[in-house]
Each structure stands twice: as C-alpha cells, then as structure tokens.
C-alpha cells in the first residue's frame, strides 16, 4: 500500500472515530460536561471537524507552534502553545481532569518516534480526562485507567486507538 493510500485510510479512520465519539458526546450532553482537548493542532483539520460536530462545546488545542489554516484557528485563550510534555501537566495541574473527549494526533509516521510518545503520553492523557471521558489517539496508550473501547463496526482497517478513562 502506498503512503498516499495509507494517508487516505488514516483520514478516513480519524473521521469515522471522531464522528462516533462526537455523536456519543452529543447524546450525553450535560451529563458529560467539560471541554474537548486536541493534542497536536497541526493544520487544524481534526480540530475543525470536531468544532463542526460539537456545536457549543469548547475545544482547547495544544501545539508547539501555531501554523493551522486560518479557517481552523482556535479562539484566543483556547490554544496552548508549547511542548505538551510541559503544557499538558501544567494544564492538568491548573484545571484537573476536565476533558470530556480528547484527541491526540502527535505522531509523524516514524515508528521509533511513536515508541517515545508511548512512554510519556498515556499519563498526560489520563490526567486531562474526566472519568468516562473518551480518548482517541494515533498512538497506543497503555495505562491502567484507560480502558480500550470497541471501534464502530464500519471502521476502516487502520491502526488508531480508542479508550475511556476510568
């Protein structure tokens, strides 16, 4: 499979899972309060998608630089600039585990870099999520308080990860 094929599958997987998680969150409504957290704003495509699917829900985005498409910029105050290894724990320290949904897309397609992410990311994701909150991630998260969830039946065959905080 070419890298283009893989890229297309990856985006289809992101859309399938984000649609599923957002629909669940919309059903829960006030029963699952709190913002959505996007770790790795990048171009802003997945941020923009969640914004469209979750009207009225605050989305706080993190990234080491702000270079998103101008159509996909978070409002002032909802972008946390810096390395998530520092800004994630600082945000959790200030606000506690408040996120109803978290999407983390920090990978660059290099397996060795994913292995590094797998070391520091699970604890940060868990510290940001409220109990029952959903996490979607391009990297495997092994954490005793993150329970793997089943994918929707129509999911493309692409490696992505879906958890619930317990």
Give 89's strand partners: none
In 3D space, the residue among 39, 23, 14, 4 whose CA is nearest the CA of residue 158 turns out to be 14
- Name the token pair of 48: 């923009």
Region from 23-31, 79-87, 124-132, 158-166 binding ligand SAM, contact rule CB under 6 A:
79-87
Task: Return the residue of 83, 90, 132, 148 that touches ligand SAM, per CB under 6 A.
Answer: 83
Cβ neighbours of residue 10 closer than 8 Å, sequence gap 6 or more:
138, 158, 160
Q: By CB under 6 A, what part of segment 15-74 binds ligand SAM? A: 40, 42-46, 63-64
Shortest distance, position 128 Cβ to ligand SAM, whole Å: 14
Closer residue to ligand SAM, CB minimum distance, 35 or 63: 63
What residue ranges bind ligand SAM (CB under 6 A)? 40, 42-46, 63-64, 83-85, 105-106
């Amino acid at each position: 499979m070419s890298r283009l094929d893989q890229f297309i599958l990856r985006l289809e997987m992101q859309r399938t899972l984000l649609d599923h998680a957002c629909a669940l969150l919309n059903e829960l409504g006030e029963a699952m309060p709190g913002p959505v957290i996007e770790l790795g704003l990048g171009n802003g495509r997945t941020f923009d998608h969640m914004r469209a699917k979750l009207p009225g829900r605050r989305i706080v985005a993190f990234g080491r630089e702000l270079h998103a498409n101008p159509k996909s910029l978070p409002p002032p105050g909802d972008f946390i600039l810096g390395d998530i290894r520092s800004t994630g724990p600082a945000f959790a320290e200030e606000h506690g585990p408040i996120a109803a949904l978290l999407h983390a897309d920090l990978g660059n397609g290099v397996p060795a870099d994913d292995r590094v992410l797998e070391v520091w990311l699970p604890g940060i994701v868990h510290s940001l999520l409220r109990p029952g909150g959903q996490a979607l991630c391009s990297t495997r998260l092994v954490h005793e308080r993150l329970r793997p969830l089943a994918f929707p039946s129509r999911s493309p065959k692409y490696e992505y990860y879906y958890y619930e905080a317990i």
